[in-house]
Structure 1
Amino acid sequence: MAEPTTNPLKQSRRGVLFVLSSPSGAGKSTIARRILAADQGITMSISATTRPIRPGEVDGVDYHFVSLDQFREMVANEEFLEWAHVFGHRYGTPRAPVDQALAEGRDVLFDIDWQGAQQLFQQAGGDVVRVFILPPSLTELERRLRARATDPEDVIVARMDRAATEIGHWDGYDYVLVNDDVERCFGKVHTILASERLRRSRWTGLIGFVRGMVKGG
């Protein structure tokens, strides 16, 4: 959903920091990929992580893969907007590229958990839009995790245990959707993004535009 090329305000807007969160298996990564494929106006935030690179992943594209010492140094230097310890590894959002995107009026998509969303909101406030995606039920969530056939039994059990905690933070989000149909859920998420781009507070040139209109009569 590209924005119109004509802009009567003659000003860019501030970018949107668009957060998708869900328990593992509820569909946020699938919907994030759909958003990126359908919308050229948003880019994915690339996190730094201490976990090992997996087959097929590319450093700097999927993640910035760093050592534990490097990650700790980045934390000490306040180079992260948010970071968390998840399933034995650390993940964090580098601050500099996000700040640059905001200043240039570009939107950034985040696939992060509730801890990251909370920290990001504390750092960036009104630039953040938080969407939480629920599964239709915990039974369906477990079925999806097992159908992926990518995790051993102990990891599936850990993910289900963590899911209950994550769902308990649903009320810390601006929007909450149930992913009972991925196409319908994707449509709702994209509608939210389009609406948030039009929010009055994001348009830096609006006050001057309206005053000029009234003055010009």
Structure 2
Amino acid sequence: MTVQQLNSNISDDSDDMVSLPSEEEVYRRKYQLLLDRCEVLQQDNERIVNRIQEAKKITKRYRKDIKLLIERLDRHGDGFRAAVTEVEVKPEVPRAPRPASKQTTAKPSEKQNTAPVKKPGPKRKSKADKPEKDPNAPKKPCNAFFQFCQEQRPLVVAETSSEMGEPSKQEVTRQLASRWRALSTEDKRVYVAMFERSKEKYAEEMSAYIKKEQ
């Protein structure tokens, strides 16, 4: 490529760059378009206003004409005000009654078949199914709290008794529970030790009972 060709290409590019519209020119064109649109809207508004004015004039003229007609009719003594306009009323055609729906009565056998069938649920264990406890079997030991209750119950009953009689079982139980909660951990260990000794004794008695039953 020669130097002249390069210069010609550069000149063509520069011409293209010059031909592109600037930002100001773009805004001017947009502004002109907006002005044209506003003028069109203004013309439409003026036409609508003119139509409204014409409609008002026509309405005013019609009112004057109606007023003149009423005055003329009143002069001639025409009783148009008391005239009754006859309205054609079409007679109502009576509708045919609907046929009563036939109610099919189900046979007793069908009613029995349609009854819901209850599924057998799980059988509950009755008292008769439970094995009877042997009165000679050793009793399970009481826990630490019940050990405390057995020991302190007579004292609580004596302290809470009054002239009205002995306190109720609920009151005694409430007093025992509050006293148990008030005990320290060391004091509770005494009754825990009693419970452990009772468990050992129960295990020995139970083993002897099983050997005896065999």
Structure with the largest fraction of helix: 2
**Higher RCO structure (Cα 8 Å, ≥6 apart):** 1
Larger Cα-atom Rg: 2
Could you say whether these structures have the same fold, taking a TM-score greater than 0.5 normalized by the shorter chain as the test? no
Structure with the largest fraction of strand: 1
TM-score by length of 1: 0.21
